[in-house]
Amino acid sequence: MKIRELHRDEKIPYDLLLSADPSKDMIDEYIDRGTCYILEDNGQTIGEMILLETKPGIMEIMNIALADDYKGKGNGRILIEKAIDLAKKAKMHKLEFSTSNSALDHLALFQKCGMRIVGIEPDYFTNTYKDEVYENGILKQDMIRLEIVFSND
């Protein structure tokens, strides 16, 4: 497994990005401002994440996704740990991530990696996306915000 930065001249992995965020317009808005990292297995792209400094000292994981065959095998943890490492090296104060109330696997994994739930934005997804989306049999409705704070000693 190898994680590397996606070069500006490379094809954007929209198939993976859209599996995490159904709005191509929203993806196009933040991918140009952030940095996309690719997780590869023998040269094949199996995962991605986009990191963006949203405010001074604050980095956010804007998008993170894995190909279906690579889920549940520790690859998500690899990406999250890389994001934490990159945020620390960049001397960020904190790393943030937002997901939906229905993303049960994400909520568990990010907490296992040291992030804490710090807020809920009610009706974010129902107000932002025109179509209802269900995940794990639950309406994707509220945004759950998580973060990890670094001491940077």
H-assigned helices in 45-89: 75-89
Greatest C-alpha distance within the chain? 45
With CA atoms as reference, report the closest residue to 77 among 101, 109, 45, 102: 109
Residue 50 confidence class, pLDDT cut points 50, 70, 90: very high
pLDDT tens sequence across 80-103 = 999 999 999 999 999 999 999 999
Q: Over pLDDT 70: what percentage of the chain?
A: 99
At 88, list the tokens. 């620390």
User: In the predicted model, what is the mean pLDDT of the chain?
Assistant: 94
Instruction: Please give the pLDDT value at position 133.
Output: 85
CB 58, CB 47: distance < 8 Å: no
Instruction: Please give the pLDDT value at position 152.
Output: 60
In the predicted model, is pLDDT for residue 49 greater than 90? yes
- How many Cα neighbours within 13 Å face the side chain of 65? 17
Average pLDDT for residues 47-75, to the nearest whole number?
A: 96
CA dihedral 98, 103, 104, 109 (to 10 degrees): -50
122-145 burial: b if 16+ Cβ within 10 Å, else e: eebbeeeeeeeeebeeeebbbbbb
In the predicted model, is pLDDT for residue 129 greater than 90? no
In the predicted model, is pLDDT for residue 153 greater than 70? no
Q: Which residue has the higher pLDDT, 22 or 89?
A: 89
